[in-house]
């Protein structure tokens, strides 16, 4: 991959990676740091990466960086999530989008990543498995469970409302 | 085949676009046939997330690698250029040194010094007639300090003494070596003889005690006697040649001007030899007698 290819990768996929990380972490500065780290690693390994596979390579690096970050800050985020979740439970659901974001936050990091990779980036089960390190069957099962949970959460809220 | 037992999994695969076109069509047909499952399909479809285009990284400059306004010179090309420049510089330097050395080896006044003559102790020089010449013009390094030298033209091929003669330092006559081709009159000055030979181009052996440098045994001077030859006439060719102006032989690179001291010595010898010629060594009447002053001694 040449320098020109790298710059094209930055232009085409920087927002996508940032969005993915931001939805998972729900913290802009942390998401920005992870995106910068991911692109730095891609630059260092540019001679080993084909230009056509830079997107999946980029998401793979970003995902693992995010998992490491989440494991380091899990305790703090967990408490934060409880508080945020409590505040949101008292408020009426403004729209479906925000409800889904709320439902998404209730998933674990693996399920959440799978849903985002599937819905945001349109990766196949096989590609998601390569990024996350899971096999295709695991991706299928985890993703189905995540969707069922999201559906049940929406239905229960609708029932409450 | 889709049934009411496995429809949920197929619905999810349908939503994830993981079904083939035929499978997708079968799911759509199943939903139409089972209207109560339409609400469940709708709920699953609402759980699909859509990308939020409003969310972006922002300024991408910190991530980009700037390659504008930069001309990268390949290392190979740069190295090759350096190597080529160094090779050209070395070649020019060597050429200049070679030219300078060649100029320094040239002799003064434009003459080239014969390395075979200068600095060596062998008379390895011959004139155009093939005679080995040991002249007073030869550099002094050729002659040992104790050797009396004279300008003489010697037949190189007939005057090389034998090994016995060299070792015992006995005088060797020309008869021992070979018969002379052209006899010369008695009392002829060898120096005059040398000039005479150069002028006439004839081979005139002489009987003269001379010291030449043995090309092999350079430490000891060699003395040989050269057979005299009779060329007839009362006046020798040498005497005539001496009276004439010396003519420098052309094309002889080894006939260089003699030092002044040797010229004086040569002149003295010349005069002495003339006196002897006139008063002692003449045999005009074939009497084989020696005339000393007014006294003639007959020889038998």
Distance CA(B41)–CA(B8), nearest Å, equals 9
CB contact under 8 A, A154 and B55: no
A10 CA to chain B: closest CA distance, Å? Answer: 7
Distance CA(B151)–CA(B153), nearest Å, equals 7
Distance CA(A15)–CA(A35), nearest Å, equals 9
CB contact under 8 A, B47 and A154: yes
The chain B residue lying nearest A97, using CA atoms, is: B49
Q: Using a CB-CB distance cutoff of 8 angstroms, which residues of chain B are in contact with residue A120?
A: 49, 51
Report chain B's mean pLDDT, rounded to a whole number: 64
Which has more pLDDT, B245 or A61?
Answer: A61
A2-8: long-range contacts at Cβ-Cβ below 8 A with a sequence spacing of 24 or more? A2/A46, A2/A51, A3/A46, A3/B65, A3/B67, A4/B67, A5/A46, A5/A51, A5/A54, A6/A42, A6/A43, A6/A46, A6/A54, A6/B65, A7/B64, A7/B65, A7/B67, A8/A51
pLDDT of residue B51: 83
DSSP 3-state assignment of B26? helix
Query: pLDDT (tens digit, 9 = 90+) per residue, B174-197?
Result: 444 444 444 545 555 656 656 665
Q: Which of B6-20, B247-261, B279-293 is the least confident region?
A: B247-261
pLDDT of residue B294: 63
**Option in A39, A140, A151 nearest B47 (CB):** A151
Among B7, B58, B63, pick the best mutation site for testing chain A contact (most A Cβ within 10 A).
B63
pLDDT of residue B247: 47
CB contact under 8 A, A6 and B65: yes
Distance CA(B18)–CA(B12), nearest Å, equals 9
pLDDT of residue A118: 94
CB contact under 8 A, A7 and B67: yes
pLDDT of residue A100: 85
B111, B118 in Cβ contact below 8 A? no
The chain A residue lying nearest B41, using CA atoms, is: A151
In the numeric block, which tokens belong to residue B224?
């040989």
Among A5, A11, A13, A14, pick the best mutation site for testing chain B contact (most B Cβ within 10 A).
A14
Buried b (16+ CB within 10 A) or exposed e, A127-147: bbbbbbebeeebbbebbbebb
pLDDT of residue B74: 58
pLDDT level of residue B282 (50, 70, 90 thresholds) = low
Among A1, A10, A116, pick the best mutation site for testing chain B contact (most B Cβ within 10 A).
A10
Q: What is the rounded average pLDDT of the residues B211-234?
A: 47
Burial class (CB in 10 A: 0-12, 13-18, 19+), A72: exposed
B150, B123 in Cβ contact below 8 A? no
Distance CA(B124)–CA(A133), nearest Å, equals 97
What count of other Cβ atoms lies within 10 Å of the Cβ of residue B189? 27
The chain B residue lying nearest A7, using CA atoms, is: B64
pLDDT of residue B107: 54
Closest CA to B235 of B277, B295, B269, B194: B277
Q: What is the rounded average pLDDT of the residues B29-40?
A: 92
Q: What is the ipTM of this complex?
A: 0.79
pLDDT by residue for chain A (161 residues), tens only, comes to: 888 899 999 999 999 999 999 998 888 999 999 999 999 999 999 888 888 899 999 999 999 999 999 888 875 555 444 434 433 344 444 577 888 888 888 898 899 999 999 999 999 999 999 999 999 999 999 999 999 999 888 888 766 54
B52 CA to chain A: closest CA distance, Å? Answer: 8
Which has more pLDDT, A40 or B273?
Answer: A40
pLDDT of residue A7: 92
Q: What is the rounded average pLDDT of the residues B70-99?
A: 80
Q: What is the rounded average pLDDT of the residues B135-156?
A: 44
CB contact under 8 A, B49 and A4: no
CB contact under 8 A, A155 and B44: no
Asked if B50 reaches chain A (Cβ–Cβ under 8 Å), the answer is yes
Query: pLDDT (tens digit, 9 = 90+) per residue, A82-99?
Result: 434 433 344 444 577 888
Give CA torsion, residues A22, A27, A33, A34, to 10 deg. Answer: -40
pTM, entire model: 0.47
Q: Residues with Cβ < 8 Å from B292, sequence gap 6 or more?
A: B279, B280
CB contact under 8 A, A147 and B44: yes
Asked if B70 reaches chain A (Cβ–Cβ under 8 Å), the answer is no
**Option in B16, B43, B60 nearest A118 (CB):** B16
Query: pLDDT (tens digit, 9 = 90+) per residue, A61-82?
Result: 999 999 999 888 875 555 444 4
Helices (H), chain A: 3-25, 28-44, 54-72, 74-90, 96-105, 109-119, 125-132, 136-160
A103, A23 in Cβ contact below 8 A? no
pLDDT level of residue B156 (50, 70, 90 thresholds) = very low
pLDDT of residue A81: 44
Q: Residues with Cβ < 8 Å from B215, sequence gap 6 or more?
A: B122, B123, B124
CB contact under 8 A, B57 and A4: no
pLDDT of residue B66: 78
pLDDT level of residue B298 (50, 70, 90 thresholds) = low
Distance CA(A27)–CA(B103), nearest Å, equals 86
Query: For residue B170, what are the CA distances in angstroms to A95, B143, B218?
Result: 141, 20, 17
The chain A residue lying nearest B65, using CA atoms, is: A7
pLDDT of residue B108: 52
What DSSP element (H or E) covers B261?
A: helix B260-279
């Amino acid at each position: 991959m040449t320098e020109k290819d790298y710059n094209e990768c930055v232009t085409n996929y920087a927002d996508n990676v940032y969005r993915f990380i931001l939805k998972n972490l729900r913290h802009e500065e942390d998401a920005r740091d992870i995106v910068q780290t991911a692109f730095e690693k891609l630059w260092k390994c540019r001679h080993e990466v084909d230009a056509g596979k830079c997107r999946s390579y980029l998401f793979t690096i970003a995902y693992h960086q995010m998992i490491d970050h989440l494991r380091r800050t899990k305790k703090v985020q967990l408490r934060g999530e409880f508080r945020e979740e409590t505040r949101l439970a008292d408020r009426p659901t403004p729209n479906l989008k925000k409800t889904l974001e709320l439902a998404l936050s209730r998933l674990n990091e693996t399920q959440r990543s799978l849903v985002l990779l599937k819905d945001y980036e349109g990766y196949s089960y096989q590609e998601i498995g390569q990024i996350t390190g899971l096999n295709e069957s695991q991706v299928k099962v985890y993703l189905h469970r995540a969707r069922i949970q999201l559906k049940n959460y929406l239905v229960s809220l609708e029932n409450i409302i | 085949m889709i049934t009411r037992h496995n429809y949920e999994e197929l619905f999810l695969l349908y939503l994830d676009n993981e079904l083939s076109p035929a499978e997708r069509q079968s799911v759509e047909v199943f939903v139409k046939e089972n209207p109560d499952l339409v609400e469940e399909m709708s709920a699953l479809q609402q759980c699909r997330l859509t990308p939020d285009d409003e969310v972006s990284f922002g300024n991408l400059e910190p991530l980009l690698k700037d390659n504008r306004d930069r001309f990268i010179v390949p290392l190979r090309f740069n190295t090759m250029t350096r190597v080529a420049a160094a090779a050209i510089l070395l070649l020019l330097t060597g050429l200049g040194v070679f030219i300078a050395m060649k100029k320094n080896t040239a002799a003064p006044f434009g003459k080239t010094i014969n390395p075979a003559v200068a600095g060596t102790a062998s008379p390895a020089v011959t004139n155009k007639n093939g005679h080995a010449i040991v002249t007073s013009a030869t550099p002094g390094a050729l002659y040992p300090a104790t050797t009396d030298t004279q300008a003489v033209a010697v037949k190189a091929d007939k005057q090389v003494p034998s090994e016995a003669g060299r070792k015992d330092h006995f005088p060797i006559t020309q008869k021992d070596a070979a018969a002379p081709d052209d006899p010369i009159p008695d009392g002829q000055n060898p120096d005059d003889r040398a000039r005479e030979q150069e002028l006439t181009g004839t081979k005139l052996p002489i009987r003269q005690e001379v010291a030449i440098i043995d090309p092999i045994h350079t430490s000891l001077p060699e003395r040989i006697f050269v057979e005299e030859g009779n060329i007839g006439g009362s006046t020798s060719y040498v005497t005539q040649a001496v009276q004439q102006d010396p003519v420098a032989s052309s094309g002889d690179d080894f006939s260089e001007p003699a030092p002044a001291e040797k010229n004086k010595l040569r002149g003295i010898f010349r005069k002495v030899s003339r006196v002897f010629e006139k008063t002692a060594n003449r045999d005009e009447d074939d009497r084989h007698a020696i005339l000393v002053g007014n006294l003639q001694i007959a020889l038998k």
